[in-house]
Structure formats: structure tokens, C-alpha cells
Amino acid sequence: MNIFRTKNTLQTFLDEARNTQQRIALVPTMGALHEGHLSLINEAKQIADVVVCSIFVNPTQFNDPTDLERYPRPEQNDLQLLQKIGCDAAFLPSIEEMYTPMEKRWHLDLGNLEKVWEGEKRPGHFQGVTQIVYKLFRLVEPDVACFGQKDFQQVMVIQRLIDLKKLPITLHICPTVRNEKGLALSSRNTRLSEAGKQKALALYRALSHIKRHFNDHELDNLRQEALSILEQEGEIEVEYLAICETRSLQEIDQIDPTKKHVALLVAWVEGVRLIDNMLLD
């Protein structure tokens, strides 16, 4: 595996790939890799000739400087995982490599996506996400970019970035990776006790209930039933549970057969904020 820390060295490597008409895939990450990330690399390997994984803890998407400081950076472990899985190139730039002292103010019209759910809870977060992803897109010029469905709102934000900037990039959405009991894999899970992980399975049960009964229950009743599943487990604090149209993430009160829908859920277990979702159609 090739390891790059500067834009110039990565660019030279990618120029060689482009000159031989190789298809390039980009998997942007912030490191602390787990099986969910590795599944993105595996999918990328199936649809591209060269896979680039970026590892960069992006400061502009953090609302709280303390969160940025605490974010795990197990670089050597991440590189070993990428090497083992057969990733072609790892890009680990410094902050100075990605942001100049005279950086222009970044703003992208994200519409409703910036005003609801994660956008409302974390003001400015998606501006920071699109800022760094656009930099990576311009640098790598991938044919395809792989993102996980688990951060569904982020995926829709990236699709809007691609549409607004008219980028010739295909967004490949990879299914959420879950353990054998249904818990969505996340670096945050490591902060849960075994009992906490058991409690967190209620998120999967609640989402599965919504999916199972999506077409045969009133939506208000369905949402209440899902909340009851979470309440029965005890010691789970629900931040939001919503049934939405996929592209705008506007909450719906009735099903539109011409559109696709998703259930979004954020809940706190043992002081850990867990995010999950499920496509319903």
C-alpha cells in the first residue's frame, strides 16, 4: 500500500493511474477505522481499479473544540487495517496541507438538509463536511466516492454537493454494517459496556418495526410504537425519531408512492450518542 501525506505526491501517483485509464474510487474517513469503514474499502475494490482512503480529522466540521481534541487518532492501527484489506493508497495530510492561512470562507446552499436533524443539532457541521470533501474531490478526481448509509443525512449532503458543483462523480452508498444482533457498527460503540450494547439493540428493533409495518400502519401510530420499543428497554434517551422523504429529509405525515422514505433515529445510551437509520421502501 502507498502512503501519502502531501497533495503533490498523491497527485503524481493518481496521474499514473489516470494515464492508464484506471477507474479511481475515494473513501473519505476520519480514521479510527472499524469493520464499517473496511466494508466501504471492499465495495470500492469491486467497482474501481485504484482505491484511495483518506484519513483526516477535519477541524471545520467540529462545533466543540474539545470534541476535536478527543477524537481518536490510532494512525498505525488504521494503516495496518488498510494494508491487510488491500487498499491501494492511504492519504494522511496535515491540517496545514488541506487548509491555507488565507482560506476563503466556504458556504454551500444545502437547503433543508442543513436545517433539520443533524443540521439543526450541529450548526455549521455540514458546511465543514462539504468543504473538506470538495477539497478531496478536487484533488483525487475520483470516478466514484463510497460513503456509508449509516450517516444517511451526510450522504444526502454529499449528493447535493455533487449536484451543485456538477461533479462527474458517482456516489456509491454502501449498506450499514451491523453485528450479528443488528447493532450498527460505530467507533462510538467502543464506549459502551456490554450491557449498553445490549440496550442499544433496541434501536435496530424500533427501526425494523417501522420498516415491517410501513405500509399497513398510520404513521403517527407507527412512530409511537417504535418509541414504545425504545422506552421498554429503559435508560435510552431518544433525541429524535422521524420518518422522512429521502432526498430532502422532510418529515412526512403520509406516504407518497412516488418517493423513497427513510426512518432516522438518534438516541443516547450510557452517555453515548448513537445514530442509525433504515430505508423503508
CATH class for the region spanning 187-279: alpha beta
Mean pLDDT of the 172-195 span: 93
Q: What is the mean pLDDT of residues 24-49?
A: 96
CATH 3.40.50.620, the chain: domain bounds: 2-174
Q: Can you say which residues are annotated as belonging to the binding site for beta-alanine?
A: 61
- Looking at the chain, how many residues does it have? 281
Where in the sequence numbering do the catalytic residues fall? 37
pLDDT band at 190 (very low <50, low <70, confident <90, very high): confident
Instruction: Give the strand pairing for 236-245 and 89-91.
Output: unpaired
Q: Bigger pLDDT: 3 or 186?
A: 3
* pLDDT at residue 74 tops 90: yes
Q: Where does 2-174 sit in CATH, by number?
A: 3.40.50.620
In this model, does residue 89 exceed pLDDT 90? yes
Query: Percentage of residues in the chain with pLDDT exceeding 90?
Result: 94
Q: Kindly state the cell numbers that stand for 189.
A: 460503540
Average pLDDT over residues 14-41: 96
232-267 confidence digits (pLDDT tens): 999 999 999 999 999 999 999 999 999 999 999 999
Q: What is the mean pLDDT of residues 149-156?
A: 97
The answer for residues whose C-beta is within 8 angstroms of residue 204's C-beta and 6 or more apart is 178, 181, 182, 183, 184, 276
Across the range 149-154, mean pLDDT stands at 96
**How confident is the prediction for the chain on average, in pLDDT?**
96
The pLDDT score that the predictor gives to residue 70 is 85
User: What pLDDT score does 64 carry?
Assistant: 86
Whether 272 has a pLDDT exceeding 90, the answer reads yes
Which range, of 71-85, 143-157, 179-193, averages the lowest pLDDT?
A: 179-193
What is the pLDDT, as a whole number, of residue 189?
86
SS3 (DSSP) at 202:
helix
CATH 3.30.1300.10 placement within the chain? 187-279
Question: Annotated binding site for ATP, which residues?
Answer: 30-37, 148-151, 177, 185-188
Least confident of 65-69, 179-183, 263-267, 274-278: 65-69
Write out the binding residues.
30-37, 61, 148-151, 154, 177, 185-188
On the question of pLDDT at 188 being above 90, the answer is no
Write the CB contacts of 265 (distance below 8 Å, at least 6 apart in sequence): 203, 206, 207, 226, 238, 240, 241, 242, 275, 276, 277
Q: Which residues 6+ apart lie within 8 Å of 27 measured at CB? A: 37, 40, 41, 44, 51, 52, 53, 54, 145, 146
pLDDT of residue 128 exceeding 90, the answer is yes
